[in-house]
Amino acid sequence: MATPLTLRQRFSLARFLRGLGTETGPVTLDRRRIYILPTRQGLLLGAVLLAILLGAINYDNGLAFALVFLLTGLGVVSILHTWRNLLGLRLEAGRCPAVFAGETARFPVGVHNDGGEVRPAVILQAAHGSEAMADMGPGTQWVELARPAPRRGRLPLGRITVATRFPLGLFRAWSPLELAMDCLVYPAPAPQRGLPPDQPGTAGSGGERGQGHDDFAALRPYHAGDSLRHVHWKAVAREQGMHTKQFAGEAAQELWLAWELLPGVAPEARLSRLCRWVLEADAAGLAYGLRLPDRTIAPDFGPAQRRRCLEALALYGERP
């Protein structure tokens, strides 16, 4: 936070609870964003100390006075220790692997500790559920926060709270913050299996590709004895392994996974079916294209194609 806060901003309750809104880039927990308040145990200790103090006054007991004052000092000093346990930590959004709807998204959050001291028992809490506790040694620690992903689309991690009660549990220091971080959620694949039937009427759309010997319909893993001319060298260059092109000739069909192949099905269900087809086509090593009302992806194969298609399905209807 380069811009200084106004007094009103600094003391607003929202900042206290929610932080400063979404922030891109690593967030450093400086002294302005760490809050601290006594826990229930801290208040209980206060009551116990008061009781001892009353006893000490009544019995005029020097050592009981000393004990109360020592424990008071302990409580006060532990404020600094608890606060210090968070101070200077740097939080960074990691890359969240995409998941299918219904699965749990796992958000890796990088916690950098530039100091030499271990920061024990630092808790990361997501506003939606999961919580992780770890000892942050010097260097970087990656902590995973889980959040259920019920629907396709972009799922933000939302507000997280970095908190600690270490060392004595009498005070809780926390800092709310929102990292710019979201997880792509693909549609849940429909349970129904089987690729779409052949689509004779679709040939025209792939018209620029000449039919015949040079066209291939699919790849299969390379076997010894296959002609080296048929090896898919581009894939080798991408370090995807040796594949042999299978040429389909006249019989070759272009596989188009298209929105209009599923008339009368509700949009989300269509996306689910399309998602299943993409997975099956990819598993079979086929080249396939995807046609959505707002977007068309030319036929191709491989992990990049799979990701492109799934991403298009996840973000269908959302305009970037």
Partner 1 sequence: MIPLHGRLWLLGALAAVLLPQLLRLPPWLATCCAGLLGWRLVIDLRSRALPGRWSRLLLTLLGIGAVLLGYRTLFGPDAGLALLSVMLCLKLLELRTLRDAVLVIFLGWFLVAGGFLVDQSIFVGAYLLLTVWLLTAALIALNHPGGPAHRYYLRRAGLLLAQSLPIMVLLFVLFPRLPGPLWGVPKDSLVARTGISDHMTLGTISELAESEAVAFRVQFDGPVPPADQLYWRGPVLWTTDGRRWDPIPREFPPAWFRDAPGYEALGEPVRYALTLESHDEHWLFALELPAALPPGLNLSADFQLLLPRKATTRQRYELAAHTRYRTGALPDEQRRLGLQLPAGRNPRSLALGREWADRAPADIVRTALELFRAQPYWYTRRPPLLGEHAIDDFLFATQRGFCEHYAAAFVTLMRAAGVPARVVTGYQGGESNPLADYLIVRQSHAHAWAEVWLDGQGWTRIDPTAVIPPQRVETEADLQRFRSTATPLLNADLGWITRNLSRLRYGWDALNNAWNQWVLGYNHQRQKELLQRLGLLHFGWQGVVVALFGAMGLVLAAVAVFLLRQGRARTDAVVRLFERYCRKLARIGLRRLPHEGPADFADRVAAARPDLAEASNEVSALYVALRYGAARTETLSRLRDAVARFRPRRRRGSAATAA
Residues that bind partner 1 (CB under 8 A): 40-41, 44-45, 48, 51-52, 54-74, 76-78, 80-81, 84, 87-88, 114-117, 120-121, 133-135, 137-140, 165-169
Alpha-carbon distance of 108 to 37, in angstroms, equals 28
CA distances from 157 to 25, 98, 179, 271 (A): 14, 13, 8, 24
CB of 174 to partner 1, least distance (A): 15
Q: In what order do the strands lie in the sheet with 182-186?
A: 99-100, 182-186, 153-156
Name the residue type at position 196: P
CB of 123 to partner 1, least distance (A): 10
Q: Are strands 90-93 and 27-28 parallel, antiparallel or unpaired?
A: antiparallel
CB of 143 to partner 1, least distance (A): 13
Structure tokens at 306: 């799979």
CB of 14 to partner 1, least distance (A): 28
Q: Which is nearer to partner 1, 79 or 242 (CB)?
A: 79
CB of 128 to partner 1, least distance (A): 23
Q: Which is nearer to partner 1, 139 or 264 (CB)?
A: 139
CB of 62 to partner 1, least distance (A): 4
Distance of CA 274 to the CA centre of its chain: 24
3-state SS assignment for residue 222: coil
Q: Which is nearer to partner 1, 40 or 154 (CB)?
A: 40
Q: Which is nearer to partner 1, 53 or 298 (CB)?
A: 53
CA distances from 312 to 235, 296, 305 (A): 23, 9, 11
Q: Which is nearer to partner 1, 120 or 156 (CB)?
A: 120
Alpha-carbon distance of 179 to 107, in angstroms, equals 11
CB of 181 to partner 1, least distance (A): 23
Among 112, 45, 114, 124, smallest CA distance to 78 is for 45
Q: Which is nearer to partner 1, 171 or 259 (CB)?
A: 171
Q: Which is nearer to partner 1, 62 or 320 (CB)?
A: 62
Distance of CA 25 to the CA centre of its chain: 15
Distance of CA 7 to the CA centre of its chain: 34
